[in-house]
């Protein structure tokens, strides 16, 4: 298991449960590190069932959003599934404006998302 600084990673019924350390994902150095850590989940640890739980995240810039898109593309290339839960309303609105709500599987709660992995 790798050591991460921007995320924590747990396991829930075969799903990698990822939470974010920072309440505001805005610092460019931290975002680069976050991107590397998210990518390592797929390329190093070979995880391909991933749930990103944004509970506690108040703000993220579009640079951070770009890292999620890169992760999603990697998970898809690895024939895996990525889901997102716990978005505060304002961040969810950003997904809607940019139509990324069509790209990502957004779920209200962690339990809802875990259940959806079983389908």
Partner 1 sequence: MTSVQDHWSYDKLIPSDLDIGHAAIEELMNALGSAAWEGSDLFRIHMAIEEAVVNAIEHGNKRDANKSVHIVFHVGTDKVTMSIKDQGAGFDHQNVADPTEDERVDQPRGRGVMLMRELMSEVHYNELGNHVTLVKFKSPPAEPE
Distance in angstroms (rounded) separating the CA atoms of residues 114 and 77: 21
Q: Where are the alpha helices (DSSP H) in the chain?
A: 28-43, 62-77, 89-97, 110-117
Binding mask 31-70 for partner 1 (x = CB under 8 A): ----------------------------x-xxx-xxx-xx
Give yes or no for residue 27 binding partner 1 (CB under 8 A).
yes
Question: Binders of partner 1 among 75-94, rule CB under 8 A?
Answer: 89-90, 93-94
> Among 62, 55, 67, which Cα is nearest to 22's?
55
Positions in the binding site for partner 1 (CB under 8 A): 26-28, 59, 61-63, 65-67, 69-70, 72-73, 89-90, 93-94, 97-100, 102-103
């Amino acid at each position: 298991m790798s050591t991460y600084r921007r995320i924590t990673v747990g396991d829930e019924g075969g799903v990698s449960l990822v939470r974010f350390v920072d309440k505001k994902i805005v610092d460019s150095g931290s975002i680069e590190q976050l991107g590397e850590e998210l990518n390592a989940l797929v390329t190093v640890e070979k995880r391909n069932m991933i749930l990103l739980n944004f509970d506690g995240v108040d703000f993220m810039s579009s640079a951070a959003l770009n890292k999620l898109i890169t992760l999603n593309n990697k998970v898809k290339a690895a024939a895996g599934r990525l889901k997102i839960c716990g978005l505060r309303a304002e961040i969810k609105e950003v997904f809607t404006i940019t139509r990324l709500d069509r790209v990502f599987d957004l779920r209200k709660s962690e339990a809802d998302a875990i259940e959806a992995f079983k389908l």
